[in-house]
Chain A
C-alpha cells in the first residue's frame, strides 16, 4: 500500500501485477434459464494503471468487478490479489481484505446520511479502528474541493459533491485497488468530469490502481487501458486511443 505512494509509475506502463484472474466463469440459473454472465475470462491488472471496463448492458461487467473484488464468487476460476487466492476465503479474511486493500465507489453514492462529509470520508478508518492522519485527510478534502463543505451532511450536498466525498472515502485508506461501478452514472457531464479527474489524479499523483466500469466513451477514454466484454467474454484489451475510437469499438460490440 505504502509503495504505491512512493513510486511514480507512468500511465499505461505496467508495474507489478496485483490482480490476476484466470478462467473465470459465472453461471446463473440452470438448464433453460442458464445465464453465463462470465464465460472464461482471463485478465490481470497492474499497479498504477487506470482500467476502464466497457460492454453492452448485461455483458457481465458488474459481475466481473464483483468477483475481482471478492464481493461475489465465480462458478469456476480463480482470483489472486497480491498473490493471495481470494476465492474460498472465509468472511473474516474477506472483510480484512476489503478493509485493508480495496476501495469502492458506487453508482449510488451510498453515504451515511447521519454523518458529515468529513466523517463519511474517514469512515473506513473508524471501522478499522485507526486514527486518520489529518494531513492526508485535509489533502484529500481539498483535492475533492470540499474544504468549505466538510461539515455538511450528504443531504446538503449536490450529487457531484456527494460522489466526490465517496471517492475521497475510497482513497482514504490508500487501497491497493479502487473499484468503481458506473461512478458517473447518476451525474451530469460537469460533475462526471470532476469525478473522473479525481480518479485520474489519484492514479497520476499517488500511483493508485483504478478499475472502473462505465458506459460512457468519454469516461473510458480517460483511462490507461480499456477492456471490453461481450456475452461474458473478454473481447478487447488495449489502451484507448480517443473517445471517438471507443464509440467505434462499442458499435462493433453491440
Chain B
C-alpha cells in the first residue's frame, strides 16, 4: 500500500509539486528568519565577548526606564576612585561609549546607512578590546582612531581628517590608527576612539563615565572581585563580570532584534495559512476525483484506516519534501535578506551562517504539520467513500444539504472571532496577548467566511461574470464553470482573499498615517523649518537651535527633547520638553484645560499633560503626578494644563520645560528644533541661510521645510509599506499558485467535456479564453472579498485610534488598482492551465476514461 502511495504521488508529481510550493514559501521564511537571527545574534555575541576579553569586571548604570535608543545614562566619575581602593583591583579605567556621528572631511558620513556610529574613549592597553591593525591609539586632543571597515568604506587612511560630532559642534581630528575587534565584523557599525577627556567633551559627559572596566589581580576571580566592588559602589550601578556583561548585552540585542524575527515569522504564518487553503483544495479535489478508485480499493478489502493512511501519507510526504526544500530556500533567503538589509543601509554583523538544529526541527514540524492538518479533512472524506462507489457509472457529487450546519458553524466562528477582536479593542490590551487575540480572531473570521462562502460564490460569481458573459459563449461558459463547484471556487478565492485583505488593511492604515501626519504638520507646526538629525531619529546638538535663532530672518528657533519615563499609576509614557520662551512661536496646540500661556509659564516641576494621560491617571489642573526618570530619579510634577485629544500626541504625554528636562531627566540634546521665519520673508531663502551657516559646525543636521518634512515622513511610511507588501506578496503568490493548481485539476476533470467542445468546433483560442475568464472570475472574487474584509478590519481597528487624532483614509484609486492588478494576476495564473487545456488531443479527450 505504501508503494502505491509513492506511485500515486509520482504519477501526480506536478500536482504534488505545486501543492508543495504552497508550503515551501512559508517554511523558507521560517527557516530564513531563524538562520538570519541566529547568525546575527551569534555575531553580536562574538563582538561582545571579544570586547570584554580583557575585562574581569564591568560597571554600568542600570537603565531605569527603557529608552528608544537603548542607551544607558552615564554616571559620576567619582565611582572610579572608590573602585581603585578595592582590594584585588589591579587596573580600572573609566570609559565613554556613546552614539555620535563620524564624518569624512567633506562632512559625508562614514557609516553604512542606519547602522549606529559610536564615539569611544581609548583604554589602557591591557583593558583595550580592539587591536590596532595600523598606526597607534589617539594621544593628542586632535587625534582619533577609526575602525578599519569604516575607513575602507570612506577611503580614509592615516593622516586624513575626520569630523566627530557628539552633543556639540563638529570637531576635526587627525586619523592616527585603524582598529579591528577580534575577528568579528561590526556590520555597518563604526567606532571612533579618542582620548578619554576628548570623548567626555564630545559627548557632553564631563566628569562622567558610560562604563568602568576593571582587571583583577592574579588569584582573584572575577566573581569574587565583582562582589567586593558591589559593596562599595552606589546600589543603582550594575556590577558584572566581563562574561556576564557580554551575555547581557548580547541578550539585549537579541531582544531588540526579536521584533524583526517575530514580524517575519508572522508573515510566514500568513503565507502558511494561505498555503493550507491551497493544500486543502488540492486534496479535496484529488479525493473527489479518486472516488471510484477509493471505492474499488474498498471492494478489494481495504479498510477505512487504510484509505485514511494513503491520503495522509501523501500529505506527509509532500509536507516533508516541502519542508526540506523550504529549509534550503530559507538558507538562501537568509543570505539574500542580509544582503538586502545591507543594501538599504541596515547591515547586520555577519559570520558564517548558523543553521541550528532548532531551525531544522521547527521547520519540519511546521511544514509537515500544516500539510497534514490541511489534508486531514479531505482524507476523512475519502474514508467515507462507500465501496459501491466503484460500481457507480457517474461520480455522484454529493449535494450539500447541510447548509444550515455550515451557516451555524461559520456564524459561531465569526461571532467568536469578532468577540476576540472586540475584547482587545475595548479593553485596550496591547503587546503580545493583544496581537495574538486579534490574530486569532481574524483567523476565526476568515475560516468562518471560507466555510460559508460556497453559498456566496454563486451570486457573486454571476455578478462578476456578467460583463464577461457579454463577450460571448466562452464568457458564459466560464461564468457557469466557476459556479459549478462553489466550494472549490470558494476555497481558491478565500486563499487570495486573505492576502488581499491584509494588503487592503495596511494600505488603508498607511494612507491614514500619512494623512494624519500631514494634518499634524499643517495644524500644529507654526515653525516653517525643522532641524533634525540624520535619518530623523538621531538627536541634534542644542547649540544648533541657538545658532539658528541668531540668523537674520529667523524670528524664533525652539528645540524639543524627549525621554521615556514611568508615571506612577499610568505606566510607561513619553515625556517631552520645550523652551517656554519660544515654544508658542513654533507650535500650536489645542487645549482642554488651560491655554498656550501655560507653556510660556512652565517652570521647574510643572507639566502640561495630554488628554490621554489625564484620563488614565485622573489628572486635572493643580494635581500632581509622580514620574520616574531614566536615571532612576523620582520627580513630582504639578499639572498646569491639559491638552485636547487629537494632537496625535506628537509631544508625548507630558510636557516640561527644557531646564526641568536637563536637571531631572538628564537629557541635554534636542531631538529636533522648529524655526519660525520673519513674516514677509521667503522661507526658502531663510532655509538656505541656515543650511549655509550649519555647513561647518553641524554637518549632520538636516534643515527641512514643511513640505520636505512631509515627504520625509511619507517616504519612511512608504518604505515600511513596501517591505510589508513584499512579504505579503509571498502569501498572494501562494494563493495564485492555488488558482493555477485548481484550474489544472478542473481541466483534468473536464477532459471529456473539453474534448467534446473541441470536437463540435470550439477553437483552441476559445478554450484558452474560457479558462482565462474562469481564472479572472476567481481572482476578482478573492480581491473583492479581501477588499471588503480589509476595509472592515481597518474600520474596526481604527475606531479606538480616532481619539488620538488618527483618522483612517480610504485611498479609493489605490484600492481599485489592487483589484485590477489581481484580475491581471488571474490572467497570468491561467496561462499554463489554458495552454494545457487548449493542447488536449480531441480524440484522446473524448475516449478518456
Contacts and interface: CB of A to CB of B under 8 A. Distances in A.
Nearest to B302: A127
Contacts of A173: 301
Interface string B365-398: 0000000000000000000001110110100000
Nearest to B849: A108
A114 B299 contact: no
B8 interface: yes
Interface stretch (B238-246, B289-297, B715-723): B289-297
How many interface residues does chain B have, given as a range? 20 to 34
B189 to A, nearest CB: 58
B391 A96 contact: no
Interface string A56-100: 000000100010010110000000000000000001100110111
Contacts of B812: none
Given A114-B4, A114-B7, A124 B301 contact: yes
A123 interface: yes
Given A96-B301, A104-B299, A127 B1 contact: yes
Interface in A88-123: 91-92, 95-96, 98-100, 102, 104, 106-108, 110, 112-115, 123
B298 interface: yes
Contacts of B390: 104, 106, 110
B300 interface: yes
A72 B299 CA distance: 12
Interface string B2-31: 011001101100000000000000000000
Interface in B295-343: 296-304, 306
A13 interface: no
A224 interface: no
A96 B387 CA distance: 13
Contacts of B8: 114
A95 B301 contact: yes
B391 A71 contact: yes
B297 A127 contact: yes
Nearest to A65: B391
A126 interface: yes
A39 interface: no
A126 B297 CA distance: 11
Contacts of A102: 299, 301
Nearest to B301: A99
B768 to A, nearest CB: 26
A115 B388 CA distance: 22
Given A104-B299, A124-B301, A112 B391 contact: no
Given A91-B304, A108-B849, A127-B306, A115 B297 contact: no
Interface residues of A, number: 31
Contacts of A110: 292-293, 296, 390
B300 A124 contact: yes
A106 B299 CA distance: 10
Given A108-B393, A126-B1, A95 B304 contact: yes
Nearest to B290: A112
B299 A98 contact: yes
A71 B386 CA distance: 8
Contact of A98 (B11, B301, B393): B301
Given A71-B391, A127-B1, A114 B11 contact: yes
Nearest to A123: B300
B662 to A, nearest CB: 80
B814 to A, nearest CB: 49
A181 B391 contact: yes
Given A71-B391, A106-B296, A127-B297, A114 B10 contact: yes
Contact of B302 (A62, A95, A108): A95
A104 B292 CA distance: 14
B7 A127 contact: no
Contacts of B3: 126
A66 B301 CA distance: 15
B847 to A, nearest CB: 11
B296 A126 contact: no
A27 interface: no
A62 B303 CA distance: 23
A169 B298 CA distance: 14
A177 B304 CA distance: 23
B7 A98 contact: no
A238 interface: no
A150 to B, nearest CB: 16
Residue from B4, B292, B296, B298 with most neighbouring chain A CB atoms (10 Å): B296
Contacts of B849: 108
A127 B300 contact: yes
A95 B1 contact: no
Contacts of B301: 95-96, 98-100, 102, 124, 127-128, 173
Residue from B292, B298, B391 with most neighbouring chain A CB atoms (10 Å): B391
B351 to A, nearest CB: 48
Interface in A140-166: none
Nearest to B306: A127
B293 A62 contact: no
Contacts of A72: 388
Contacts of B10: 114
A95 B303 contact: yes
Contact of A112 (B293, B298, B306, B388): B293
B388 A66 contact: yes
B380 to A, nearest CB: 14
A102 to B, nearest CB: 8
Nearest to B3: A126
Interface in B803-849: 849
Given A91-B304, A98-B387, A115 B298 contact: no
Contacts of A98: 298-301, 387
Contacts of A71: 299, 386-388, 391
Nearest to A96: B301
Interface string B280-296: 00000000000011001
Contacts of B11: 113-114
B840 to A, nearest CB: 16
Contacts of A108: 292, 393, 849
Contact of B300 (A69, A91, A104): A104
Nearest to B6: A114
A123 B310 CA distance: 14
B737 to A, nearest CB: 24
Nearest to B12: A114
Contacts of A96: 301
Nearest to A169: B300
Interface in B43-86: none
Contacts of B306: 127
A140 B234 CA distance: 95
A74 to B, nearest CB: 14
Interface in A201-249: none
A234 B767 CA distance: 51
A131 B157 CA distance: 80
Nearest to B388: A71
A108 B1 CA distance: 22
A238 B128 CA distance: 110
A173 B292 CA distance: 21
B562 to A, nearest CB: 68
Contacts of A106: 296, 390-391
Contacts of A92: 303
A108 to B, nearest CB: 7
Contacts of B4: 112, 114-115, 123, 126
Interface of A: 62, 66, 69, 71-72, 91-92, 95-96, 98-100, 102, 104, 106-108, 110, 112-115, 123-124, 126-129, 169, 173, 181
21 contacts: A71-B386, A95-B303, A95-B304, A98-B299, A98-B301, A98-B387, A99-B301, A100-B301, A102-B301, A104-B390, A110-B292, A110-B293, A112-B4, A112-B293, A113-B11, A123-B297, A123-B300, A126-B4, A127-B1, A127-B306, A173-B301
Given A92-B303, A98-B300, 7 more contacts: A71-B387, A72-B388, A95-B301, A98-B301, A106-B391, A114-B4, A127-B302
Question: Which A-B residue pairs are the 4 nearest by beta carbons?
Answer: A99-B301, A114-B11, A114-B7, A124-B300
